[in-house]
Structure 1
Amino acid sequence: MEVSTICGWINDLISLQSYIYHKDPTILKKRLLSELEGSEILDCREITEDLLKDTLESDFKEYSERISTLVAYLRQYQFGTRVHVYVELILNTCSQPGCVRDLELEDINSDNGTVVISIPETHLVSKAGLVTQRVANISQETSEALEEFLAYERKEPTDISDSPLLTTSHGRVSESTLRREVKQASESAEEYPGVASPLTRHQTSCVVPSEIWQYSILQLLEGQ
């Protein structure tokens, strides 16, 4: 059977599951593919390459070390800043960086520790208007970082009428700015001996938001 045919069936199955359970199709897809690993019937490598073009090129342990170092640095030295909140929300919600950037103030519910996350229109269920949002839980530490950010760090934009969570003085912060802030923070984290591990200190490669997102999904699957 052609790989394209199998992938078509998998995508249909994922869309159905997303519709029934109101879950992120990307997470459902990666969970299914992880369960198919080791199959003697299907060539999972070809299927995975066809379905997922953005998988991590390195192993889980390496990313765990680098991202854990970044998070520890942010919690210790940049608690409640825009970049800290951005990173924590990606990790907590397993969301694409663009979806976190697009969050509005009204999407945050501090009382019950949840965030409403949009599902990109690259997924059929969202494009068709069937499942456009999902609710994700956030940790107590992330809630506290959000409170700190909203009280002291968030800039009130002057040039727009809506209420984005992550802002500059003019409006919603750009993806390039957030990416730069994450890279700068990861560079700084590698130089702090109280935070960085011997494996990550003085590395030349920086963490970027897309890697944090992919790692968050791998971490979710590892814990199940």
Structure 2
Amino acid sequence: MTYDAISLDFYGTLVEEDHAALTSVAQTIAQRAASSTDIPQIMSQWSHLFSAACADSHGPSFRTQKQLELDSLSALLAEHGIDADAHELSAEVFRYWSAPSPFPDAIEFLAKCPIPVFVVSNIDDEFIFAAIAAIGWEFPQVVTSEMAKSYKPRREIFDLALARTKLSPRQILHVGDSYTSDVTGAANVGIDTAWMNRLHKSPNADASVATRTISSFHDLLPLLIQETKTER
């Protein structure tokens, strides 16, 4: 099937995730925790707190990702009996959000993709636009969770993307690395999906089925180029 545009997740898809920055914070917590713990356990606890906060953050109850980061970290610090400033500990994370490292295959993809691409990301406006500027990319549309007042996999952010691009779900292929947020979220709106499975993970047994699975943009670019040539 041919598409008129590609919607792209940003962190984990176009640029590397913030794992190193988060691990650094977790290491500090492990060293200062009142009881014995380790970095993987802290990362798991933090992820659970953050994910739960995201799920509850929509509409009138919406909070930015920066605030969710600070709130979940504050809760984590309290759980481990640590008196520390969440803002200070999160500084490295916020710096990375503003200046992330792009994947080499993403750079090539954006330079050669034969159809328009736009971004749909669970992130605050200040960070995504700083990141795009730092890398030197340009997109015709950027749709964020802050704009939609909700986070993927909820449909509001996808609905906003469709409204802003004036495209129907069947005209778009959404590419993202999160099976829950990207594949399930987009599929629930009727958008075809390409799961960016860089780490060769297994999807949940009850998860929506991705239209296709790719391990890098090298798997997708030739297909789009061929489809464009065939259409012409």
Answer yes or no: same fold by TM over 0.5: no
TM-score norm. by structure 1 comes to 0.28
- Say which structure is richer in strand: 2
TM-score norm. by structure 2 comes to 0.27
